[in-house]
Amino acid sequence: MIKVEKLHKSFGNHEVLKNITTEIKKGQVVSIIGPSGSGKSTFLRCLNLLETPTSGTIWIDGKNLMDSKKGNPKIRQQIGMVFQHFHLFPHMTVLENLTYAPIKVKGEKKAVADDKARTLLKRVGLAEKEKAYPSSLSGGQKQRVAIARALAMEPELMLFDEPTSALDPEMVKEVLDVMKDLAKSGMTMAVVTHEMGFAREVADRVLFLDHGVLVEEGVPAEFFISPKTDRARDFLEKVL
Ligand code: ADP
Ligand code: MG
């Protein structure tokens, strides 16, 4: 589904991603972990061209993401992204948050978009909140709306950048549960997370980044129990 080959990204002369080659298969959940500043967010942002790679190639479903200068907009529409700080539209209701892009970008009829949005809100347990404004929601509810909003575009791939890091501890589970459901439904997902429990339990593969280098990747059962590199071992000792 996604193939990344020799991806480099520099900001000025600071090389933040160094020669990353990997792939994510359809239906796989990949967790990206590593120390702060190791390039996890930049990597994720390159996957949907929120950052332009300095060099290298990214294929999504066999199509080169960098085909045109601005990236291939049709492919980019197939990629949903969820951020640490939700980024909901504050002046729109929950329902409008979900229907805005499908109507505006995909040209869906309002009635169709509304229907689909309601189904998604049910799925994330927020059916009763469709008329609420984001400011009246808890962090966990906001993040579930953000996930539903991304799903409203019917993406093939979902990217999550530390989706639970800004939440109070008691709200982490409700968001992870929605993500687990999504994983079970067969969604292809790349998840930057500090939730090692999620990585262990849900991910098919773990990518460990350090200083912009993909130091190690493997299945969670192996990675968490017997990491191959000292750098991964040191990191795991600190976070587990
Ligand atoms: P992580 O998500 O693993 O914490 P990031 O991908 O956010 O790491 O950042 C990796 C490195 O790139 C950091 O040193 C950060 O300061 C730098 N960086 C990230 N975004 C930018 C930017 N827009 N301009 C300059 N430097 C950046
Ligand atoms: Mg980050």
pLDDT reported for residue 102: 97
Q: Among the bound ligands, name the one nearest to the CA of residue 161.
A: 2
Identify the nearest ligand to the CA of 209 by its number: 1
Ligand having the closest approach to the CA of 51: 1
Q: Ligand 1: residues whose CB is within 6 Å?
A: 11, 16, 34, 36-42
Q: Whose CA is nearest to atom 27 of ligand 1?
A: 11
- For residue 7, the model assigns a pLDDT of 97
Given this model, what pLDDT does residue 189 score?
A: 98
Q: Could you report the per-residue pLDDT of 37-72, keeping only the tens digit for each?
A: 999 999 999 998 899 999 999 998 888 888 766 667
pLDDT tens by residue, 134-187 = 999 999 999 999 999 999 999 999 999 999 999 999 999 999 999 999 999 999
Distance of alpha carbon 164 from alpha carbon 3, whole angstroms:
27
Q: Would the pLDDT of 111 be above 80?
A: yes
Cα gap 149→121, rounded to integer Å? 9
Q: Which atom of ligand 1 is nearest to the CA of 161?
A: 2
CA proximity to 150, closest of 79, 219, 204, 213: 79
This prediction's pTM: 0.96
For residue 116, what are the CA distances in angstroms to 49, 55, 232?
27, 38, 42
ipTM of the complex: 0.98
State the CB neighbour count (10 A cutoff) for residue 58. Answer: 21
162 residue type, one letter: E
Region 78-84 average pLDDT: 95
Q: State pLDDT tens for residues 84-99.
A: 999 999 999 999 999 9
What is the average per-residue pLDDT within 195-200? 94
Of 9, 16, 43, 165, the residue with max ligand 1 atoms within 8 A of its CB, to mutate for a pocket test, comes to: 16
Q: Which residues contact 145 (CB under 8 A, 6 or more apart)?
A: 86, 88, 94, 97, 98, 121, 124, 126, 129, 134, 137
